[in-house]
Amino acid sequence: MVLFMPQGRPAIPAQMKRDLLAEAGYRCSIPACRIPEPLELEHIDDWAKVREHRFENMIVLCRNCHHLFKAKRIDKRFIRHIKANLAVLSGRYSEIERRLVEMLYERGDESVMLDANDLTHLSMRNLLRDGLVAVIRPPQIETRISVPGNPIRTRTGADGAAYASGGRYTGGYELWNLTGAGRELAKRWFSAELISPDSAE
Ligand SMILES: [Zn+2]
């Protein structure tokens, strides 16, 4: 893999290069292109303006798409949108994981309440593995209720919303939050989309 960068600037840190290439799936980031080489690293807000290499302001493009972007034939807002969705496009996180991160980010410090079951955990597997989200199961309150025609069964509730049947935990909800690392990632993904259209050139 050969990367071409203009001369006369501080080098992009090797780790940042690796992260950017991994984020783009080692291909041009433009969905209609996706060719594997030659690849270049581009500043979304121009280098002359920002004078620094920041991960969230950089994107991998092929040489041709890079030229089109420089010539303003590819819109900057489109590039920002692609950047915000790259992690999903490259397949690390599913669309539903991206939506959860987005929802949590929009809600600030608020938790999101999700059904407590294996499917929820499977859907969010990579977010959990990467330590980007944290899950809290509310304290369970056990009550015994008698149902006509049924033996006594146990009902376990958390604020009346979670329950168990026959003493086995079968459902209810859990509270999902972004971790510090998750919030950083969310900022990276979504701050680009929150920039007003006026600020795009
Ligand atoms: Zn391209």
Q: What averages of pLDDT result for each successive group of 10 residues across the chain (201 residues)? A: 61 90 91 93 91 87 96 91 76 86 91 87 89 80 60 53 52 84 79 45 40
CA–centroid distance, residue 192 to ligand 1 (Å): 20
CA–centroid distance, residue 30 to ligand 1 (Å): 6
CA–centroid distance, residue 24 to ligand 1 (Å): 11
Amino acid 60: pLDDT: 96
Decide: 98 and 88 in contact? Cβ < 8 Å: yes
Amino acid 100: pLDDT: 95
CA–centroid distance, residue 64 to ligand 1 (Å): 6
Amino acid 197: pLDDT: 40
CA–centroid distance, residue 156 to ligand 1 (Å): 55
How do 3-4 and 39-43 pair as beta strands? parallel
Decide: 200 and 76 in contact? Cβ < 8 Å: yes
Supply 102's token pair. Answer: 């987005």
CA–centroid distance, residue 86 to ligand 1 (Å): 14
pTM of the model: 0.52
Decide: 140 and 164 in contact? Cβ < 8 Å: yes
CA–centroid distance, residue 190 to ligand 1 (Å): 23
CA–centroid distance, residue 36 to ligand 1 (Å): 9
Domain boundary assignment for the chain: 3-92, 95-183
CA–centroid distance, residue 53 to ligand 1 (Å): 21
